[in-house]
């Protein structure tokens, strides 16, 4: 008998029976069909699987689902509210920060975690904040710019 | 009359909203009811004879639905050019990681356990890992049947394997007399360069899903860059008419050339046929690393130069490290060899290019198709020549760079060649910065990049009953944003806002043929086909509107979806009304069809190897970089990259910049950090912890400069931009290291260790 786990994802409660060795990423994708978090490696280095756990960016491919029980999980699907995109999502669109899009959800969530903690990061802090998320398409130029525009709109973004 | 979101406008990607909300279906997300999980069993031996593949234990495991070995696959070799590849090894293995069997089971864990239960016995043979050694007459032969392989038709009869050796293809050309020119030259200088194998590092793994209906269709879903080519190869392999197979692409999480050859699709098909259920194969990252890579190899380059820097002669000899099969190597090794002297005026040229099999992961197309390798050599060498003659590296290039109408080293006439303008633009930056006191550590390199000749694109634009348009294109968007640029071309061609256009891409049942997304061809080829289709839609719409407005079509104008009589804007109708009438009253829906075949061919003069035209179009550019080198640690600090690129016409400057910025960092990865390290044929770093793809911390300040030298055959003058911006990065960095330290490093990547060794040798 698999243990019962309560996952709180994007403000909803899910009661699930989860095998103890199941990864949070697999439960999100296979059980809850939240596919915005993606597998890019299996080793926690690419960041495509990034979700927010109590506001912190974590690699869902390296976290057992049972360990996330009772904690607040946010995925990319929960970022827009009432059909209104989050400022980071808008900035990524407008600045051209999206190419193949595979890394985009994880990248946006890492950026959100960064801005929630430090509303006015400089470019080096932004680089540091997203350094756990690999993007092979963009060269990060427009991603960094997109995050800067949101930081600046919040009154931050010192050069 | 400009349209909203038309050509030349810097608009956001039309699919970006779905991307930032995560609501996109990549191949990894595919679910088909009743789907099984497929797993591949791989060789642990680089070269050997298969003695036994014992599947009996696996077959008896509960939950296992199908097990296949190479002998269960059709006995037909496949390949994008030379048909030399087995998808599952039959009697021989040729690299570590080569599939030898596969299973399908009810879940991942069962499939993994079954794969492990398969007993593979292989008798090892002597192996070859280096292309130069592999080309020697006494090297162990990897393909005994080389002389009997068939080939695709797209390269006409341009195949020159040397049976009995590991040379899958030898291409050469000669112009003038290099030996005579060397005797006249003030300086004759020769250097040898090496390029390491690197991996594409796309973020989404290879995935294929197959559902074989026993008496019906064969459904395939995958993240391939060339759906029509894959459909053709799968149909050919299994002996089916192409139309039986439907291949639908998903959203593709990056490709860069790595997702072309159908390595997985035939395995998924064979498993599905045997299991009687859909099968999905998703590669692990470690498996992706042994599925594709860039060629690399060795390039020897020798030049004769006059005292004033004028190039008199150049010889290039290339040994490509092809790996176990040749894949598209015949094309790559030919066209990159053609490009190898650089975009210069050189009257005497001699080029030899050898595509050599080795017992390593198969080399496949990789952003730049071999040109990054040859330009690393040619453009590093160009700096060596400048320094030996006491010339400025930019001046020696300016002196020799070709212009419109000049004859290229390989025989064709240069057209739409904005390379000098690109170099002028980066020179301005360097001069300004030097005046500001930034003295040393500047490096420059130029580049050109062919788009593969003689490839085909078709497009269809259908008017919906509300006047909006459906654009059908067979070219898969792989992240570069072609759904947006093609929609912009369509919008401009018809005269409607881009918001009126929905793009359907890469479904062999729904879209017309397209050779696919590779070789910077989509904007140029598919763009031309789309423009033709759009003009047909416009012509038909104006004809019909003319009837409605009782005016001559030539007196009508379309602006943002409205059609009006020129000079009498009150006499107007809408696209919606035109659509309604065409569909409902006339029963003649408006459909535009376009087709475009790119120029050039694989025909070469039999005596000289020269080409009348080797490419559909050429990209040009110049890159300037600034580095600081730490003499204590050998670490290169890449401060800035300025990339000036001639795009013909920027259909969407925002996405063009994205290509330049992204390709620059990919080039930086291959120049400074990335290397697939093999130990006896085994890849020792098949993961992102040990294989170092640049993160945001490694991304320098990058400034794209767009130069527009219209191409006579491009849609609105546009050319490709997908590959060019990667090419000059490595030599520009190497040249900057020389400028900073006075040491020339001829082997990639430029690791701190190599830099330190070179500095020590200098001291």
Quote the ipTM score.
0.97
Q: pLDDT confidence of A3, banded at 50, 70, 90?
A: confident
Residue B537's H or E segment, with its range, is helix B527-549
The confidence band for A159, taking pLDDT boundaries of 50, 70 and 90, is very low
Cα–Cα dist B661/A136, whole Å: 11
CB contact under 8 A, B29 and A42: no
The pLDDT tens digits for B434-483 are 999 988 999 999 999 999 999 999 999 999 999 999 999 999 999 999 99
For residue B401, the 8-state DSSP code is B
Compare CB distances from B699 to A96, A100, A140 and report the shortest one's residue.
A140
d(CA B25, CA B19) in angstroms, rounded, equals 10
DSSP A81: B
B651 contacts in chain A (CB < 8 Å): none
CB contact under 8 A, A39 and B205: yes
Q: Is B760 exposed, middle or buried (0-12, 13-18, 19+ CB in 10 A)?
A: exposed
Residue B620: predicted pLDDT: 98
Copy the structure tokens of residue B310.
């004028």
Helix (H, G, I), strand (E, B) or coil at B599: coil
Number of H helices, E strands in chain A: 5, 5
Nearest residue to B719 (alpha-carbon basis) of B515, B418, B398, B345: B418
Beta carbons of B203 and A135 less than 8 Å apart: yes
**What angle separates helix B482-494 from helix B527-549, to the nearest 10 degrees?**
30
- Write the pLDDT tens digit of every residue in B545-575: 999 999 999 999 998 789 999 999 899 999 9
**Predicted local distance difference test score (pLDDT) of residue A158:** 47
From CA A56, how far away is CA A46, in angstroms rounded?
A: 17
Distances (CA, A) of B671 to B66, B129, B381, B645, B693: 44, 22, 16, 20, 11
**Which of A85, A136, A143, A146 should one mutate to test binding to chain B, selecting the residue with the greatest count of B CBs within 10 A?**
A136
| B376 vs B381: CA distance, rounded Å | 8
CB B301, CB B377: distance < 8 Å: yes
Question: Mean pLDDT throughout B29-33?
Answer: 96
Alpha-carbon distance of B79 to B325, in angstroms, equals: 8
Model confidence at B83, in pLDDT bands (50, 70, 90)? very high
Is the predicted pLDDT of residue B1 greater than 60, yes or no? Answer: no
Residue pair B714/B524 in contact (Cβ under 8 Å)? The answer is: yes
Q: Six-digit token pair at B431?
A: 């001069």
Question: What percent of chain B lies above the pLDDT cut of 70?
Answer: 100
**Partner residue facing A102 (CB), from B18, B21, B26:** B26
CA B718 to each of CA B356, B596, B632: distance values in angstroms, whole numbers, following the listed order: 36, 14, 47
Contact B665 A140 (CB under 8 A): yes
pLDDT digits 0-9 by tens, B489-524: 999 999 999 999 999 999 999 999 999 999 999 999
Chain B residues with CB under 8 Å of A89 CB are 17, 20-21
Interface subset of A 99-158, CB within 8 angstroms of B: 99-105, 108, 126-128, 130-144
Residues 6+ apart with CB under 8 A from B488: B5, B6, B7, B9, B11, B498, B651, B652
Predicted pLDDT at B682: 97
For chain A, domains (ranges, CATH) are: 4-78 (3.10.20.30), 87-153 (1.10.150.120)
Q: What's the burial of B248, exposed, middle or buried (CB within 10 Å: 0-12/13-18/19+)?
A: middle
Phi, psi angle pair for B7, to nearest 5°: -65, 135
Hey, of A38, A47, A74, A101, which one would you mutate to test binding to chain B, going by the most B CBs within 10 A of its CB?
Answer: A101
Cα–Cα distances in Å, from B77 out to A88, B177, B325? 49, 41, 11
Distance from CA of A81 to the nearest CA of B (A): 11
How does pLDDT run across A61-99, given as a tens digit for each residue? Answer: 999 999 999 999 999 999 998 889 999 999 999 999 999
Dihedral angle sign, alpha carbons of residues B285, B288, B290, B295: negative
- pLDDT of residue B159 exceeding 80, the answer is yes
Residue A74's SS3 state is strand
Edge to edge, what strands does the sheet with A50-53 contain?
A12-17, A4-9, A72-74, A50-53, A56-59
> Chain A closest CA to B15's CA: distance in Å?
9
Please report residues of B whose CB lies closer than 8 A to that of A62: none
Which helix (H) or strand (E) covers residue B636, if one does?
strand B636-646
Place of tokens 């806002």: B497
Residue of A nearest to B652 (CA): A96
3-state secondary structure of B532: helix
C-alpha distances (whole Å) from B296 to each of B372, B377, B554 are: 9, 11, 56
| pLDDT reading at B365 higher than 50 | yes
Contact between B13 and A98 using a beta-carbon 8 Å cutoff: yes
So what's the pLDDT on residue B521? 98
Closest CB to B480 among A41, A99, A108: A99
The pLDDT value recorded for residue B155 is 79
A35, pLDDT greater than 70: yes
E strand spans, B215-284: 218-222, 245-249, 279-282
Q: How many other C-beta atoms lie within 10 A of the C-beta of residue B761?
A: 8
Identical fold, B16-24+455-597 and B31-125+224-254+258-278 = no
> 3-state SS string over B691-741?
CCCCCHHHCCEEEEEEECCCCCCCHHHCCCCCCHHHHCHHHHHHHHHHHHH
- The minimal CB distance from B689 to the residues A37, A43, A77 is found for A43
Task: For residues B240 and B76, give the distance between their C-alpha atoms in angstroms, rounded to a whole number.
Answer: 13
Q: Which residues of B touch A105 (CB under 8 A)?
A: 20, 22
Distances (CA, A) of A159 to A119, A121, A124, A146, A151: 13, 9, 9, 14, 11
Rg (CA), chain B: 27
Nearest-CA distance A123 → chain B (Å): 10
Alpha helical stretches, state H, B367-418:
371-389, 393-400
pLDDT of residue A156: 54
Q: Distance (Å) from the C-alpha of residue A85 to the closest C-alpha of chain B?
A: 8
Q: How far is CA B342 from CA B337, B349, B379, B521, B717, in A?
A: 10, 11, 8, 20, 23
Structure tokens at B487: 């929609």
pLDDT of residue B586: 85
The answer, yes or no, to whether residue A157 has pLDDT greater than 80, is no
Q: Is the pLDDT of residue B386 over 90?
A: yes
DSSP codes, B412-428: PBP-S--HHHHHHHHHH
* Structure confidence by residue, pLDDT tens digits, B663-684: 999 999 999 999 999 999 999 9
Q: Which of A139, A143, A159 would best serve as a mutation to test chain B binding (most B beta carbons within 10 A)?
A: A139
Percentage of chain A with pLDDT > 70? 96
Q: How far apart are CA B440 and CA B438, in angstroms?
A: 6
Digit-coded pLDDT (tens) for B395-444: 999 999 999 999 999 999 999 999 999 999 999 999 999 999 988 999 99
With vertex at residue B45, the alpha carbon angle to CA B42 and CA B47, rounded to the nearest 5 degrees, is: 115
Q: What is the pLDDT of residues B580-636, one digit of tens each?
A: 999 888 888 999 999 999 999 999 999 999 999 999 999 999 999 999 999 999 999
Q: Distance between CA B563 and CA B528 in Å, rounded?
A: 24
Contact B662 A138 (CB under 8 A): yes
User: Which three-class secondary structure state does DSSP give residue B94?
Assistant: coil
* Residue extents of the structural domains in chain B: 16-24+455-597, 31-125+224-254+258-278, 297-453+603-762
CATH architecture of B297-453+603-762: 2-Layer Sandwich (3.30)
Q: How many CB pairs under 8 A join A and B?
A: 173
Q: What is the DSSP string of B58-87?
A: HHTSTTEEEEEEGGGS-S--B-SSB--B-S
Which fold would CATH assign to domain B16-24+455-597?
A: Aldehyde Oxidoreductase; domain 4 (3.30.365)
pLDDT digits (tens, 9 = 90+) for B652-665: 999 999 999 999 99
Judge contact between B81 and B158, C-beta under 8 A: no
Please spell the DSSP secondary structure of B131-191, one letter per residue: HHHHTSTTSPPS-TTGGG--B-STTTT-----TTSSEEEEEEEEES-HHHHHHH-SEEEEE
pLDDT at B173 over 70: yes
| Nearest residue in chain A measured CA to CA from B687 | A41
CA trace torsion A107, B206, B167, B613 (10° rounding): -70
Kindly state the average pLDDT of the residues B180-186. Answer: 98
Residue A155: what pLDDT?
62
Contacts of A99 in chain B (CB under 8 A): 254, 479-481, 658, 662
Tell me how long chain B is: 763
Helix axis angle, B653-668 to B729-741, nearest 10°: 60
Q: Are A103 and B26 in contact (CB under 8 A)?
A: no
The pair of structure tokens assigned to B358 is 């080795």
Across the range A106-128, mean pLDDT stands at 97
Q: What is the DSSP letter of A67?
A: G
Q: How far does CA B93 lie from the centroid of its chain?
A: 27
CB hemisphere CA count around B516 (13 angstroms): 24
- Identify the burial level of B153 via C-beta atoms within 10 angstroms of its C-beta, where 0-12 means exposed, 13-18 middle and 19 or more buried: exposed
pLDDT of residue B152: 87
> CB–CB of A139 and B665 under 8 A?
yes
pLDDT at B274 (0 to 100): 98
Using the beta-carbon criterion (under 8 Å), do B479 and A99 form an inter-chain contact? Answer: yes
Contacts of A139 in chain B (CB under 8 A): 661-666, 699, 702
Mean pLDDT of chain B: 97
Model confidence at B2, pLDDT cuts 50, 70, 90, reads confident
Of B256, B481, B696, nearest to A127 by CB-CB distance is: B696
Length of chain A: 159
Dihedral of CA B637/B368/B128/B302: which sign? negative
- Average pLDDT for residues B165-192, to the nearest whole number? 98
CATH class of B31-125+224-254+258-278: alpha beta
């Amino acid at each position: 008998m698999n243990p019962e786990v309560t996952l709180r994802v994007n403000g909803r409660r899910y009661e699930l029976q989860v095998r103890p060795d199941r990864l949070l990423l697999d439960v999100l994708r296979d059980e809850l069909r939240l596919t915005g978090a993606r597998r890019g490696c299996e080793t926690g280095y690419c960041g495509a699987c990034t979700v927010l756990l109590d506001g912190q960016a974590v690699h869902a491919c390296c976290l057992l689902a049972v360990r996330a029980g009772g904690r607040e999980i946010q995925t990319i699907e929960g970022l827009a509210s009432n059909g209104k995109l989050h400022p980071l999502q808008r900035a990524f669109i407008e600045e051209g920060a999206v190419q193949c899009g595979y890394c985009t959800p994880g990248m946006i969530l890492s950026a959100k975690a960064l801005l929630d903690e430090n509303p006015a990061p400089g470019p080096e802090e932004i680089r540091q904040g997203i350094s756990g998320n690999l993007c092979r398409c963009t060269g990060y130029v427009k991603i960094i710019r997109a995050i800067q525009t949101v930081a600046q709109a919040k009154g931050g973004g010192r050069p | 009359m400009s349209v909203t979101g038309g050509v030349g406008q810097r608009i956001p990607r039309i699919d970006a909203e779905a991307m930032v909300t995560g609501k996109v279906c990549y191949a990894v997300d595919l679910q088909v009811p009743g789907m099984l999980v497929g797993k591949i069993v791989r060789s642990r031996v680089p070269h050997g004879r298969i003695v036994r593949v014992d599947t009996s234990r696996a077959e008896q495991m509960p939950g296992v639905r199908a097990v296949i070995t190479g002998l269960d696959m059709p006995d037909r070799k496949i390949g994008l050019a030379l048909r030399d590849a087995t998808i599952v090894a039959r009697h021989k293995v040729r690299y570590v990681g080569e599939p030898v069997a596969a299973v399908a089971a009810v879940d991942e864990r069962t499939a993994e356990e079954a794969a492990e239960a398969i007993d593979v016995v292989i008798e090892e043979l002597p192996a070859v890992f280096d292309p130069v050694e592999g080309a020697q007459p006494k090297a162990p032969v990897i393909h005994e049947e080389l002389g009997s392989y068939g080939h695709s038709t797209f390269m006409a009869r341009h195949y020159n394997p040397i049976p009995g050796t590991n040379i899958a293809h030898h291409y050469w050309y000669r112009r003038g007399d290099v030996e005579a020119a060397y005797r006249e030259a003030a300086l004759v200088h020769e250097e040898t360069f090496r390029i390491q194998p690197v991996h594409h590092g796309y973020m989404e793994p290879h995935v294929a899903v197959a559902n074989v209906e026993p008496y019906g269709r064969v459904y395939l879903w995958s993240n391939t860059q060339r759906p029509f080519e894959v459909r053709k190869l799968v149909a050919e392999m299994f002996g089916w008419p192409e139309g039986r197979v439907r291949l639908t692409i998903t959203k593709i999480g990056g490709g860069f050339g790595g997702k072309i050859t159908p390595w997985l699709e035939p395995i998924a098909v064979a498993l599905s046929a045997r299991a009687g259920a859909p099968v999905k194969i998703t590669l692990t990252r470690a498996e992706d690393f042994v599925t594709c890579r860039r060629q690399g190899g060795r390039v020897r380059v020798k030049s004769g130069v006059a005292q004033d820097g004028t190039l008199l002669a150049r010889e290039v000899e290339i040994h490509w490290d092809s790996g176990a099969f040749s894949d598209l190597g015949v094309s790559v090794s030919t066209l990159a060899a053609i490009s190898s002297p650089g975009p210069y005026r050189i009257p005497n040229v001699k080029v030899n290019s050898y595509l050599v099999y080795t017992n390593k992961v198969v080399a496949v197309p990789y952003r730049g198709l071999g040109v990054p390798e040859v330009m690393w050599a040619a453009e590093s060498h160009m700096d060596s020549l400048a320094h030996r003659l006491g010339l400025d590296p930019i001046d020696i290039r300016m002196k020799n760079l070709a212009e419109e109408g000049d004859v290229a080293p390989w025989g064709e006439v240069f057209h739409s060649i904005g390379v000098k303008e690109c170099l002028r633009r980066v020179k301005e930056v360097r001069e300004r910065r030097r005046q500001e006191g930034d003295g040393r550590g500047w490096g420059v390199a130029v580049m050109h990049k062919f788009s593969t000749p003689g490839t085909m694109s078709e497009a269809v634009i259908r008017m919906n009953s509300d006047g909006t348009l459906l654009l059908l294109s067979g070219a898969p968007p792989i992240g570069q944003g072609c759904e947006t640029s093609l929609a912009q071309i369509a919008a401009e061609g018809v005269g409607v806002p881009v918001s009126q256009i929905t793009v359907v891409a890469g479904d062999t049942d729904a879209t017309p043929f397209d050779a696919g997304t590779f070789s910077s061809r989509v904007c140029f080829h598919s763009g031309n086909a789309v423009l033709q289709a759009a003009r047909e839609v416009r012509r038909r719409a104006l004809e019909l509107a003319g009837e409605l407005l009782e005016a001559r079509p030539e007196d009508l104008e379309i602006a943002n979806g409205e059609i009006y009589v020129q000079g009498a804007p009150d006499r107007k109708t809408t696209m919606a009304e035109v659509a309604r009438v065409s569909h409902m009253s006339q029963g003649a829906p408006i459909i535009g069809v376009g087709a475009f075949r790119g120029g050039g061919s694989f025909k070469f003069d039999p005596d000289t190897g020269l080409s009348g035209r080797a490419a559909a179009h050429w990209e040009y550019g110049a890159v300037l970089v600034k580095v600081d080198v730490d003499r204590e640690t050998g670490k290169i600090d890449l401060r800035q990259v300025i990339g000036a690129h001639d795009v013909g016409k920027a259909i969407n400057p925002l996405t063009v910049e994205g290509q330049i910025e992204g390709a620059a960092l990919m080039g930086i990865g291959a120049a400074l950090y990335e290397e697939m390290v093999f130990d006896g044929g085994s890849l020792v770093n098949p993961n992102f912890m040990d294989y170092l793809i640049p993160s945001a911390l490694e991304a320098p300040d990058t400034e794209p400069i767009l130069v527009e030298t219209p191409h006579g055959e491009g849609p609105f003058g546009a050319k490709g931009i997908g590959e060019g911006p990667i090419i000059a990065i490595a030599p520009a960095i190497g040249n900057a290291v020389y400028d900073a330290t006075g040491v020339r490093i001829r082997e990639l990547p430029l690791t701190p260790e190599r830099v330190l060794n070179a500095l020590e040798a200098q001291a």
